[in-house]
Amino acid sequence: MARAYAEPKLIVASHNKGKLVEIADLLSRFAVETVGADALGLPEPEETGDTFIANAELKALAAATKAGLPALSDDSGLAVDALDGAPGIYSARWAETANGRDFDFAMHKIEMALHQKGDVPRTARFICALTLAWPDGHVESFEGKVEGTLVWPMRGKNGFGYDPIFLPLGGDMTFGEMEPAAKHAMSHRADAFTQLVDACFVGQGG
Ligand code: IMP
């Protein structure tokens, strides 16, 4: 049985503005005050894990033990079937340039890699691991996903990261074209979040 969440204040252990906004939105129906890791001056630990869950756990634990408050972290990314699951846990790293992260560059890189493979399926999924960690070292982790295909060229200016090339299964708008509420209703983060709420926020709000 998962540990129930019962504290009034929660750290969102992420330095990614897009994720912070989405997580605050998902948590808005609960009586929980959220504070970002940046606002507390918490350092961003190195992501040395080799799975989404391992990285989510190390980020949430680092924040919770340092700040003495429970922390929620997200480790997520895009896995492309024809690229053997890449960029996967390296989704942020694929966007690194000499001038910081550039997701236009990362999306071009994916398109080039697919082009080099020739006539291959363009199926992909977003995966999200969410970890809730307590200062005593206890963790609860959940993994969600959303299936789709990759379009080219990019479409839409909403969302963040790889949203403009991701067309969810059965849809006709990319995550970059969808209204935030529509994306949040079906995303990998929403899937993981529903699992977390069912396990740890039983009987609270919403
Ligand atoms: P990390 O979890 O901080 O290592 O970063 C994961 C990267 O995956 C993000 O920087 C985004 O580029 C990408 N990513 C994760 N979730 C989404 C999403 O909902 N939309 C678009 N890109 C995402």
From the list 59, 2, 36, the residue with the least C-alpha distance to 200 is: 2
Ligand 1 centre to CA of 160 (Å) is 8
Q: Is the CB of 161 under 6 A from ligand 1?
A: yes
Nearest residue by C-alpha to atom 9 in ligand 1? 92
Provide the pLDDT for residue 27.
87
Three-class SS of residue 151?
Answer: coil
The whole-model pTM stands at: 0.94
pLDDT digits (tens, 9 = 90+) for 134-174: 999 999 999 999 999 999 999 999 999 999 999 999 999 99
Q: Is the CB of 76 under 6 A from ligand 1?
A: yes
Active site residue 104: no
Q: Of the residues 75, 104, 119, 191, which is catalytic?
A: 75
Q: Is the CB of 162 under 6 A from ligand 1?
A: yes
pLDDT digits (tens, 9 = 90+) for 11-50: 999 888 888 888 888 888 888 999 999 899 998 899 999 9
Ligand 1 centre to CA of 77 (Å) is 5
Q: 164 Cβ partners below 8 Å, 6+ apart?
A: 107, 154, 155, 156, 157, 174, 175, 176, 177
Q: Which one of 3.40.50.970, 3.90.850.10, 3.30.390.50, 3.90.950.10 gives the CATH number of domain 9-201?
A: 3.90.950.10
Domain ranges (residues) in the chain: 9-201
User: Residue 87 has what DSSP assignment?
Assistant: B
